[in-house]
């Protein structure tokens, strides 16, 4: 099974991905997480990607497609994968179609999680992430029990650099220009399902579950 989670920054892709992979035993391929980890460890990929990520721009396709190609060959992808944040351009989508046969998959569904812009800004600027385990919180919607401390591991919570208001606005513009065309691309292929992402986390997941149950 191969599922794509499509949606603007802050739509809740990562939040829903956690539930989907647990229930469906899928590998989680989140290009943002992979890139952030490369930046943290200072690899060549990370050094090249940082400049773009800090500005809220997309990392060039040629860097991202290579990492996805390799990741799809990892043993944990044998039962299928959930792509979270990839593809993000039509060019990345056509690359994916070329490499999927080698990985033994076709795309089952593309879930487009849709949220109004005001909520996206509120979600992103209020997000806090654990510096140790990566767990994600929100000052209003998912506050930790102790301020700035991770419930799961006790690590410190921080705000992602790209969640500052100015960068969030840039990311939303980039999404509109470079990623939204994918909606038509997958609509033509009759692969897309629209999810109302404005609802609470459980209600969003219910919609996703109904679709996955039909595959
Ligand atoms: P990436 O990490 O993928 O960021 P993104 O797509 O901008 O998405 P986010 O992680 O910000 O949001 P999300 O939709 O996962 O929301 P979340 O569940 O966390 O990419 C970062 C950067 O990497 C890019 O800008 C780019 O530079 C680069 N990059 C990555 N992939 C690339 C690619 N393919 N090509 C080129 N460059 C690439 O939720 C957000 C907040 O809202 C949380 O606090 C959460 O608790 C809260 N929340 C979630 N759901 C709800 C709900 N239903 N109600 C209330 N609050 C909610």
150 inside domain: no
CATH number for position 12 = 3.40.50.300
pLDDT in tens, 92-150: 999 999 999 888 889 999 999 999 999 999 999 999 999 999 999 999 999 999 999 99
Q: Which of 4, 10, 181 to mutate to test the pocket of ligand 1 (most atoms within 8 A of CB)?
A: 10
Ligand 1 center from residue 32 Cα (angstroms): 8
Residue nearest to atom 21 of ligand 1 (CA): 32
Q: Is residue 20 part of a domain?
A: yes
> Can you give the pLDDT at residue 207?
98
pLDDT of res. 150: 98
The yes-or-no answer on residue 123 being catalytic is no
Domain enclosing residue 194, as ranges: 2-116+173-213
136 in a structural domain: no
Residue 186 lies in a domain: yes
Residue 9 domain flag? yes
Structural domain includes residue 209: yes
* Minimum-distance ligand 1 atom for the alpha carbon of 113: 14
State the CB neighbour count (10 A cutoff) for residue 213.
Answer: 7
Q: Which residues of the chain fall short of a pLDDT of 50? A: none
Q: How far is the CA of 65 from the centre of ligand 1 (A)?
A: 18
Any domain includes 163? no
Residue 178 lies in a domain: yes
Catalytic residue among 13, 36, 50, 109: 13
How many structural domains are present in the chain? Answer: 1
Residue 159 near ligand 1, beta carbon < 6 Å: no
59 lines ligand 1 (CB under 6 A): yes
Query: What's the CA gap between 130 and 147, in Å, rounded?
Result: 12
CA of 10 to the centre of ligand 1 (A): 5
CA distance 173 to 7: 13
Q: How many CB atoms lie within 10 A of CB 55?
A: 14
pLDDT score recorded for residue 97: 94
- Name the residue among 37, 158, 27 with its Cα closest to residue 83: 27
57, 160, 194, 209: the active-site residue:
160
- pLDDT at residue 103 in the model: 83
Distance CA 143, CA 33 (A): 21
**Whose Cα sits closest to atom 18 in ligand 1?**
12
């Amino acid at each position: 099974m191969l599922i794509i989670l499509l949606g603007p920054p802050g739509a809740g892709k990562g939040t829903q991905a956690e539930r989907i992979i647990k229930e469906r035993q899928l590998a989680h391929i989140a290009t943002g997480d992979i890139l952030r980890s490369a930046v943290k460890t200072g690899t060549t990929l990370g050094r090249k990607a940082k400049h773009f990520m800090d500005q809220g721009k997309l990392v060039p396709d040629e860097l991202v497609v290579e990492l996805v190609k390799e990741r799809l060959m990892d043993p944990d992808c044998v039962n299928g994968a959930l792509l979270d944040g990839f593809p993000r351009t039509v060019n990345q989508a056509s690359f994916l179609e070329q490499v999927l046969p080698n990985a033994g998959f076709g795309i089952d569904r593309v879930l487009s999680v849709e949220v109004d812009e005001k909520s996206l800004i509120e979600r992103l600027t209020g997000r806090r992430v654990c510096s140790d385990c990566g767990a994600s919180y929100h000052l209003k919607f998912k506050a930790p029990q102790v301020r700035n401390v991770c419930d799961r591991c006790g690590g410190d919570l921080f705000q992602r650099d790209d969640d500052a208001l100015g960068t969030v606005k840039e990311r939303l513009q980039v999404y509109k220009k470079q990623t939204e065309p994918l909606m038509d691309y997958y609509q033509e292929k009759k692969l897309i399902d629209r999810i109302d992402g404005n609802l609470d986390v459980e209600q969003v997941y219910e919609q996703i579950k109904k679709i996955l149950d039909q595959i």
